Each structure stands twice: as structure tokens, then as C-alpha cells.
């Protein structure tokens, strides 16, 4: 085959005026592989890339669903530490329980949680609500291992952490935890 015929057929690269070769890109067709500017892209490479992107989307979605499912769930805390009220800037704990909410100035979900906790504390005798702003108290965030705001701790009458909520919470879940705490205190 002559050089002119090869150029027109694309075996020796694109040579048409205004074509890819004029822009500095050489394109060659070699069976199922297309070479563009030194990169060889095959059907297998494209398929692998699409599968990798699809897998990444699936894994990211699964991680998001797991994190969302964990939001607002009560986790029991086995702690022997008795928290000093002075550490959190209060004179005393509630006679039955204290709801300690950790928030920051930039937290968009904190006002809603604050409203729920204030309503719960206002409707139950002996329950105190305390809102602690961590913006200027990173020492407290480290001490209580707060990784997100809002984070809510349920303390018993002695100041022992009994339950921890991460993220937004449901009023019914807080009520259940307080009922459980009250039942345990009446048995003891």
C-alpha cells in the first residue's frame, strides 16, 4: 500500500487538512484499540473505568446510608467518670437527669435539637437541659470525644454519662432514655 493510500485509510495517522494531525494529535486505529496522543484506550479500559466509577458510587451511597442510619440513635455509655458540673459551667445537675447538648455557632441542626431538649426538660420534673458551645472550648470536645455537633449526653443525677446521641435526635428516643434511667434509679 502506498503512503498516500495509508494516510487516507487512517493506518498511518490522520492527515486530512484540519484533522487531528493538524492539531498535534495523532490518531491510529489498531483493531479494537484507539491510540490518541500516545494513550491507548481499549474497550476493556473503558469498561474497567465505568465499572470503577459505578463501584465508587455504590460504596459512597452505602456509606452515606449507614451514617444516616446512625444519626440520632442512642448509644449506651459504660462510664465510671463522674462529670464535675464546674467543668461544663453549671452549678448543679438535674435532680433526676441532665441533658447536655454540645453545639457550635455554625451548627445548622443545633437549634432544632436545642428546642427538643428544652421541651423535654421543661415537661419533666428534675430534668435539666444544658447547652455547651464548643466553639471556644475545644478542650471539652476532646475530653468528651465530640466528633460532630450536635452531640447530646444524658447524665444521671450523680453526673455519670449514661447515653450518647450523635446528630439530630427524636424526642421519643430521649423520652425513652429518661424513662429507662428513671426505672433504673427507682430499682437502685
Q: What's the pLDDT tens digit per position in 128-149?
A: 999 999 998 999 999 999 988 8
**Element of type H or E holding 33:** strand 33-36
Angle between helices 171-187 and 110-123 (to 10 degrees): 40
- The pTM of the full predicted model, rounded to 2 decimals, is 0.62
b/e code 137-149 from CB counts within 10 Å (16+ = b): beebbeebebeeb
Closest by Cα among 143, 149, 147 to 111: 149
Could you tell me the domains of the chain? 1-70 (no CATH), 74-187 (3.40.30.10)
If you average pLDDT over every residue of the chain, what do you get?
79
Is 37 a residue whose pLDDT tops 60? no
Closest by Cα among 138, 148, 144 to 161: 144
User: pLDDT value at position 127?
Assistant: 93
**Mean pLDDT calculated for residue range 36-60:** 78
Cβ proximity of 134 and 140 under 8 Å: yes
C-alpha cell at 177: 432514655
Which residue's C-alpha cell is 487538512?
Answer: 17
Is 94 a residue whose pLDDT tops 60? yes
User: pLDDT value at position 68?
Assistant: 65
Categorize the per-residue pLDDT at 26 as very low, low, confident or very high, splitting at 50, 70 and 90: low
More confident residue, 28 or 98: 98
Is 110 a residue whose pLDDT tops 90? yes
Amino acid at each position: 500500500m502506498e503512503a498516500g493510500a495509508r494516510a487516507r485509510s487512517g493506518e498511518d495517522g490522520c492527515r486530512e487538512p484540519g484533522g487531528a494531525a493538524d492539531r498535534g494529535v495523532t490518531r491510529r486505529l489498531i483493531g479494537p484499540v484507539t491510540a490518541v496522543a500516545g494513550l491507548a484506550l481499549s474497550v476493556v479500559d473503558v469498561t474497567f473505568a465505568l465499572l470503577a466509577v459505578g463501584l465508587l458510587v455504590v460504596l459512597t451511597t452505602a456509606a452515606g446510608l449507614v451514617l444516616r442510619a446512625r444519626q440520632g440513635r442512642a448509644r449506651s455509655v459504660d462510664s465510671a467518670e463522674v462529670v464535675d458540673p464546674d467543668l461544663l459551667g453549671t452549678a448543679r445537675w438535674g435532680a433526676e437527669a441532665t441533658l447536655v447538648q454540645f453545639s457550635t455557632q455554625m451548627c445548622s441542626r443545633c437549634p432544632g435539637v436545642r428546642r427538643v431538649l428544652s421541651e423535654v426538660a421543661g415537661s419533666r420534673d428534675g430534668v435539666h437541659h444544658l447547652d455547651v458551645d464548643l466553639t471556644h472550648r475545644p478542650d471539652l470536645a476532646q475530653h468528651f470525644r465530640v466528633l460532630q455537633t450536635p452531640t447530646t449526653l444524658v447524665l444521671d443525677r450523680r453526673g455519670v454519662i449514661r447515653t450518647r446521641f450523635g446528630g439530630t435526635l427524636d424526642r421519643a428516643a430521649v423520652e425513652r432514655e429518661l424513662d429507662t434511667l428513671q426505672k433504673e434509679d427507682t430499682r437502685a
